[in-house]
């Protein structure tokens, strides 16, 4: 999964922002339109979205609204639109921050790091009796260590970070294995089965890792 998706149609500004973020060791992808942004997000995901409002095909508010339908990925709006109504609209649609252009790159990077610390890089990720230690990629259930492979851990983390949201099979597969993987999507089905055997009290009647038929999977909140 990409760390940061930049949605910005100004190529020069987008390139500069990419350079600064990659210098901070973030993986970055870019989109110059709403259509491309949503396509990239659906296929590969992102741990944070930097979103311009003035896009050539539709405004960034539509992108924010669409992402928020099924995902709680942090979104920072970066825009020259400074009207109070625009700011309120962005926040009400679920943006985590609204930053006016021109912005101070050091302040933006500090905000990004803060979001990653608070929401995506916590030492512990807890859901009920399941605890994930992000630092050493281990997990326990009721205090007992779970024997998870690296991919099973990534899959469990992705599901818990988006609990209550139905994630499509394509989104999960591309987030964990990547679009260039030689694995088949059947690999995801197998890993779901293995994960259920390790975390569910009754794997044949799961109550946490739910199949949403015709769509994908959901971690029950």
Q: What is the pLDDT of residues 176-221, one digit of tens each?
A: 887 555 566 788 999 999 999 999 999 999 999 999 998 999 999 8
Please name the residues in contact with 88: beta carbons below 8 A apart, sequence gap of 6 or more.
Answer: none
Which tokens is 101 given?
């252009």
The predicted pLDDT at position 211 comes to 95
The lowest-confidence range among 22-31, 52-61, 89-98, 122-131 is 122-131
In this prediction the pTM is 0.65
Domain hosting 197: range is 124-219
pLDDT in tens, 141-164: 998 999 999 899 999 999 998 999
**Residue after which a domain boundary falls, among 120, 145, 178:** 120
pLDDT in tens, 2-42: 889 999 999 999 999 999 999 998 989 999 999 999 999 98
**Residue 55 main-chain phi, psi, to 5 deg:** -115, 155
The predicted pLDDT at position 125 comes to 85
What's the CATH code of the domain at 187?
1.10.10.10
Q: Which residues on neighbouring strands pair with residue 140, listed in sequence order?
A: 131, 145
The predicted pLDDT at position 182 comes to 56
Same domain? For 115 and 134 the reply is: no
CA 77 – CA 98 distance, rounded (Å) = 5
Query: Strand 138-141 relative to strand 130-133: parallel, antiparallel, unpaired?
Result: antiparallel
Same domain? For 172 and 69 the reply is: no
Same domain? For 54 and 149 the reply is: no
What's the CATH code of the domain at 46?
3.40.50.2300
**Residue after which a domain boundary falls, among 89, 120, 151:** 120
């Amino acid at each position: 999964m990409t760390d940061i998706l930049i949605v910005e149609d100004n190529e020069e500004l987008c390139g500069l922002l990419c350079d600064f973020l990659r210098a901070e060791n973030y993986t970055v992808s870019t989109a110059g339109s709403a259509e491309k942004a949503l396509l990239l997000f659906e296929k590969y995901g992102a741990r944070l979205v930097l979103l311009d409002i003035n896009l050539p095909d539709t405004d960034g508010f539509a992108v924010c609204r669409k992402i928020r339908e099924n995902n709680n990925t942090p979104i920072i709006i970066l825009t020259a639109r400074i009207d109070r109504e625009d700011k309120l609209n962005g926040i009400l649609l679920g943006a985590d921050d609204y930053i006016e252009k021109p912005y101070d790159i050091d302040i933006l990077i500090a905000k990004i790091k803060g979001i990653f610390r608070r929401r995506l890089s916590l030492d512990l990720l807890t859901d009920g009796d399941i605890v994930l230690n992000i630092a050493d990629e281990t997990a326990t259930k009721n205090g007992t260590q779970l024997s998870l492979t690296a991919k099973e851990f990534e899959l469990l983390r992705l599901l818990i970070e988006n609990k209550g949201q139905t994630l499509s099979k394509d989104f999960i597969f591309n987030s964990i294995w990547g679009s260039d993987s030689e694995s088949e999507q059947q690999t995801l089905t197998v890993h779901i089965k293995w994960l259920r055997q390790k975390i569910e009290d009754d794997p044949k009647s799961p109550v946490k890792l739910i199949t949403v038929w015709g769509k994908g999977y959901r971690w029950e909140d």
